[in-house]
Structure 1
Amino acid sequence: MNRSISLLVAGVALAVSVQAFAAGDIEKGKAKVATCVACHGQDGNSVDPQYPRLAGQYADYLAMALHEYKDGRRGNAIMKGFAAQLSDEDINDVSAYFGSLPTKLDDLHNHIQGAQ
């Protein structure tokens, strides 16, 4: 019985933390992406396969990734530097903006290092 309660509490905590990531203002985000577009494209659909396409990704996933770059759980020095400058509100807004854009993702062809 204790295990079930522990799992329930953990699930609720996870849901609450994901909801915190999901909130953001798309219009404010649009005004905050000047640095991002150099690599990820103005429309979030990078044409260079070394940079991920952000358009249409889940906003909560993008926010989680930015928080992980910021705190070092993801190991990319360039993204860590950019993310370090962002507040939680900035992260939510930028994530909401890119998540709201139409994606050009269809598969991973030419978007995996070394793929032909």
Structure 2
Amino acid sequence: MLDLVLNNNKEGLVRDVNLKGSLGCSDHEMVEFKILKAARRAHSKLTTLDFKRTDFGLFRDLLGRVPWDKALEGRGTQDSWLVIKDHLLHDQERCIPKKRKSDKNTRRPAWMNEELLGKVKHKKEAYRG
């Protein structure tokens, strides 16, 4: 879920990000945030991120150059999130190209290609059987 939050490119979609501590004996921390309903429904039908042509090496290098200790020093959770989000979105624009999405495929996610559609169809047919 956190990957979806960090990779989302809609402004104003996520608000009030807070760390809530660990759950039981786990070393993982809980993250609480709000997703605005109106922003979730308003999605662009014109362009989408083209992850097949992404330069992940450059993306990793750009994020690795940021002095995170200094950038996040003395900031609260919300301010730290804004700094991280700004860096991610800026570097995302440089490393992940956008592509036009055809009108016939606007109802399904960009990552749902023909191969996956075939597998989902096969799964549904097997379930029905």
User: TM-score, length-normalised on structure 1?
Assistant: 0.22
**Which protein has the bigger strand share?**
2
**Which protein has the bigger helix share?**
1
Name which structure has the greater RCO, CA cutoff 8 Å, separation 6+.
Answer: 1
User: TM-score, length-normalised on structure 2?
Assistant: 0.21
